[in-house]
Structure 1
Amino acid sequence: MTNTTHLKLPLIAAAQAQKHVTMNEALARIDAALHLSAISRSITNPPSAAQDGDTYLVADGAAEDWLGQTSLLAVFLNGGWEFLSPQIGWSVFIQDEAVKVTFDGTSWRSNILSLSRGGAATRTEVIEIDHVFSAAPAVSETTPLIPAGCSVLAVTGRVLSGFDGDATDWSLGVDGAETRYGSGYGVDTGAFLKGVTGQPVAYYEDTPLRITAATGALGSGVVRLCAHTIQFDLPDPL
């Protein structure tokens, strides 16, 4: 055997010359694989200005030096690309998405809490949007933020650009439950909200969030809203 089983680390041969070369390569692979973090999983062409240690999860349709390496981890070492084959249970933090993915033996799954042998999964996901409104009257609604078939534990947020209307406070909710995620929130830049539900609320269709002024008009502003959700994946097909 010339490589280890899981990480494919090169082994030093008996009476090998320049043992430090093999040892350094093995240490570099361990450094890349320990507490795995990848810059992105959506890039198909190897970056031309990669730095030593840069790691990517190779996307579908990869080309050039990444051709044929889909779903593997590409690590830039000593001026070239090395590839790590994931094992079941490996987890990687994807930096440009701020999401953790786990390898189930076939594919990478996002934010897994639990996984059945048949592929069913319970996942958590924080869905974030910067909601921009201009000259809004008393109500402003986001694009559909909460996906169908999930449960919402809470919605948090922060005012990024203060409201310039004459409203002094506002509430957050959905159509028919305008204060579900709280009321009395401030309108100035930096004001924040933490709307925790007493129990998870299930949604059966894509649903927008609704900002409602207590009195007066909202005017213009920007609010970052984050829906903290639990989502459920079906078992794999036979």
Structure 2
Amino acid sequence: MTPNLALPYIAAAQAQKHVTHNEALDRIDGLVQLSVKDRDLTAPPAIPTEGDRYIVATGATGAWAGWDGDVAMLSGGAWVRLPAREGWRVWVEDEAMLLVRTAGAWIALEAALGLVKQSTDVTLALSPNGAATRLTVAEETLTNLAGPTVTSSIVIPARAIALCVSTRTTSAITGATSYDCGIIGSPAKFGGSLGTAAGASNLGIIWPEAFWADTPIVLTANGGDFTGGAVRIAIHAFEFTAPD
């Protein structure tokens, strides 16, 4: 067997050389540009398709027993074990995620390389014991605006540092001639006299400010009550996690 991919060698004076050669081709076909269907199954699926590959989950049974963490490939109607090696990279189709094999486990590429993943909650700094500094964004569309004020269900989290609340009018506002975006006690904290036409937007940037309790966003109508329309809001903030 070759040292890295465990491909079978053709022995000198070997009969049926094509068998060994084809086995090697099958393994190369399964490993090059490696992509698996799933990584959560402990037993083979009921109706697999030739060439399907899976990362075998912990506690495997049946034809996959003892293959935990390895790649199982259906070849010639039978399951073939491809033992995972350090540094392998694999695309997981049902999660749209790239994993890397390191220290005997499959972990996300961004975690393995210390990259920042685009998400609504991104960890920017992490201590060995779990203390973290995170950048977060929460978004909500407030529809069918009515009355003098409208309050969001999303909040600036307690013990977070807010940087901005941005807004976009997604459906023309009626009743009011403009609106303010803020919080209780400071109605225009993130912007005043904002536009009511569809497409109007604002970046309500403030000096970094700590909020000690969950704080919803309040839209306040100017020139009359809200009678319709929709505004999408987004809260941009830093959050923190204490060490374990």
Structure 1 length as normaliser, TM-score? Answer: 0.63
Q: Indicate conservation of the 8 Å contact 2:116/2:123, yes or no.
A: no
Structure 2 residue 176 is matched with structure 1 residue 159: no
How far does residue 28 in structure 1 lie from its aligned partner after superposition? 2.8
Distance in 1 separating the partners of 2:159 and 2:3: 45
The 5 A counterparts of 1:185-196 are 185-196=194-205
5+ residue gaps, structure 1, are 5-9, 33-37, 59-67, 101-109
Q: Indicate conservation of the 8 Å contact 1:164/1:220, yes or no.
A: yes
Distance in 2 separating the partners of 1:227 and 1:54: 41
| Corresponding residue for residue 25 of structure 2 | 20
How far does residue 159 in structure 1 lie from its aligned partner after superposition? 1.1
Q: 132, 142, 148: which is aligned to 1:138? A: 148
5+ residue gaps, structure 2, are 11-19, 58-67, 70-89
How far does residue 121 in structure 1 lie from its aligned partner after superposition? 0.6
Distance in 1 separating the partners of 2:138 and 2:54: 25
How far does residue 172 in structure 1 lie from its aligned partner after superposition? 0.5
Percent identity (aligned): 26
What is the count of residue pairs matched by the alignment?
A: 185
- Secondary structure of residue in 2 paired with 1:211: strand
| Corresponding residue for residue 75 of structure 2 | none
The 5 A counterparts of 1:1-238 are 10-15=5-10, 16-18=20-22, 19-29=24-34, 75-76=92-93, 85-87=105-107, 89-90=111-112, 99=119, 110-134=121-145, 136-165=146-175, 167-197=176-206, 199-236=207-244
Distance in 2 separating the partners of 1:151 and 1:54: 45
> What amino acid does structure 1 have at the position aligned with 2:136?
E
Greater gyration radius: 2
Q: Indicate conservation of the 8 Å contact 1:123/1:231, yes or no.
A: yes
